[in-house]
Amino acid sequence: MEHLEQQERQRVWEKIQKALLNEQIDQFRAEFLELHPYDQARIFEEQEEDIRFLIYTYLSPNEMADVIEHVDRDLVNEFIIEMVPAFAAKILEEMSTDDAVDILNELDKNKVASFLTIMDKEESEEIKELLHYEEKTAGSIMTTEFVVIHHQMTVKEAMRHLRKEAPDAETIYYIYVVDSDKKLVGVISLRDLIIAEGDWLIQEVMSERVVSVPVGEDQEEIAQMMRDYDFLALPVVDFQNHLLGIITVDDIMDVMEEEASDDYSKLAGISEVERFGDTAIQSAKKRLPWLIVLLFLGMFTASIIGRFEEALDKVALLAVFIPVIAGMAGNTGTQALAVAVRSISTGDMNKIGKATVIWQEAKTGIITGTVCGILITGIVGFWYGDLYLGILVGISIMATLFVATIAGAFVPIVMDRFNIDPAVASGPFITTLNDIISMLIYFGLATVFMDLLIGG
């Protein structure tokens, strides 16, 4: 069933709710389970706690697992914690291992230990194994629910094995091949397996050119690789090439959303991802670190202006253009920053080279600076009737835009070089840095022009 529009979803829910409240269990289950899990999750999220508890009563752990897998990640933990622990543990058992690990990674360690104790021993061991991997690495997002075949199997034996294991596998479009030491030696697509002769050996029809990732690889690098190669799945191996798990395209979509949210937060000057529903104190804690850093940088900007107090006393009109010059510097710096961060995150930076990116931004800075400089020179000269003031502001804009554009591109490149997330070169940081640069340029030139300004 296609996703329901909000109005249609409300109409469907009213029908389902009536059956639910009237304890018409069979009708509720028939109506609710007919929906796509995405729509089930959207309806479920909107309910009050008492209604959610009725739903827990009427759905099996397996059915509830489908709902929870589609619930907004910011709400999942709230729902898992409010459930009866035994029911929650059963739901985690029924979920894909990697999805269960994602949920448990966000919970208190005591809660995690409690759930793992209640869960089936085999499922618990699989989850424990993945919990040991560092967050945001291949190991933390891979799944161990996949089909693997031996290279000396016949195609007929492999098909029989596939039919047996497929119901529990997350994907079967790629089937990975291992040797007697469980080392990854090949891959075969489902299509190739189906059309191969039954008595052929797997090693005769498999492809030995397998693209894999080490278990410690960063999830952002993996997302780029899957995008570049158009993979539906990617095998994860250890340093000896033993096959440990696979990463599927749906996992990578979650990663891309997570990384985008993370980069957005950093570009906005927030130390951690801020979520809807955070308390005022939680939001403040996430925003304060950068705000305090920016406060001290702002004080440095103020001290620069203070050093040129004499110039301002002589030509008070200089103060009028401080917001214009600082604002333009911040704007162009943020634009260059966005281009550089995107180039780094998509991998384009490595393809075209850092020097090329900086040179491209420098040329852009020259063009934009020259156009804006000439424009502001004419406007100020005509508006205030002072050609020298117009030339001062124009040259300041020209020089500021050129330097700020280069800074906007250069700072994230330097941070990336030292393995610091380039998104940390956030908009507020670049804006404040360019405020300092623009004030130094503006008042430095004002000092040079001082005699002409006073004489004019």
Phi-psi region of 421 (alpha: psi -120 to 50; beta: other; left: phi over 0): beta
DSSP assignment of 374-431 equals HHHHHHHHHHHS-HHHHHHHHHHHHHHHHHHHHHHHHHHHHHHHTT--GGGS-HHHHH
154: left (phi over 0), alpha (psi -120 to 50) or beta: beta
Based on the fold, state whether residues 101 and 218 are members of the same structural domain: no
Is there a domain that residue 359 lies in?
Answer: yes
Is 273 part of any domain?
no
Residue 412: inside a domain: yes
Q: Which residues contact 30 (CB under 8 A, 6 or more apart)?
A: none
pLDDT at site 286: 62
SS3 90: helix
Considering the domain architecture, whether residues 226 and 286 belong to the same structural domain is answered as no
Percent of the chain whose predicted confidence (pLDDT) is above 70 = 83
143: which DSSP letter? B
Tokens, residue 224: 């780029």
Residue 44 lies in a domain: yes
Number of domains in the chain: 3
Examine the domain organization and report whether 194 and 221 are in the same domain.
yes
345 has a pLDDT exceeding 60: yes
CATH number at residue 178: 3.10.580.10
Q: Do 394 and 305 lie in a common domain?
A: yes
- Per-residue pLDDT, averaged over 61-77, amounts to 89
Within a domain: 42:
yes
Q: Is 215 helix (H, G, I), strand (E, B) or coil?
A: coil
Domain check: are 194 and 328 in the same one? no
Looking at 112, 138, 164, the residue that finishes a domain is 138
304 vs 114, more confident? 114
Is 286 in the same domain as 425? Answer: yes
Q: Has residue 265 been placed in a domain?
A: no
CATH of the domain at 391: 1.10.357.20
Residues 21 and 95 in one domain: yes
Which of the four pLDDT bands, split at 50, 70 and 90, describes residue 1? very low
The half-sphere exposure of 315 on its side-chain side, counting CA atoms within 13 A, is: 24
Confidence band (pLDDT; 50, 70, 90) for 63?
Answer: very high
40-55 tens-digit pLDDT: 898 898 888 888 999 9
pLDDT for the residue numbered 266: 54
Same domain, 325 and 447: yes
Lowest model confidence (mean pLDDT) among 134-148, 177-191, 230-244, 312-326: 312-326
Whether 455 shows a pLDDT value over 80: the answer reads no
Condensed to tens digits (0 to 9), the pLDDT of residues 149-203 reads: 999 999 999 999 999 988 888 888 889 999 999 999 999 999 999 999 999 999 9
Average pLDDT estimate for 337-363: 81
List beta partners, residue 183. Answer: 242
Higher per-residue confidence, 103 vs 309: 103
Residue that wins the pLDDT comparison between 57 and 305: 57
For residues 369 and 238, membership in a common domain is answered with: no
pLDDT in tens, 288-336: 666 676 667 667 666 766 666 666 665 667 777 888 888 888 888 888 8
pLDDT at 75: 86
Do 223 and 372 belong to one domain? no
What average pLDDT does this structure show over 365-389? Answer: 89
Domain hosting residue 381, numbered range: 280-455
Answer yes or no: is pLDDT of 269 > 70.
Answer: no
261 within some domain: no
Q: What is the pLDDT of residue 328?
A: 85
Q: What average pLDDT is seen over the chain?
A: 82
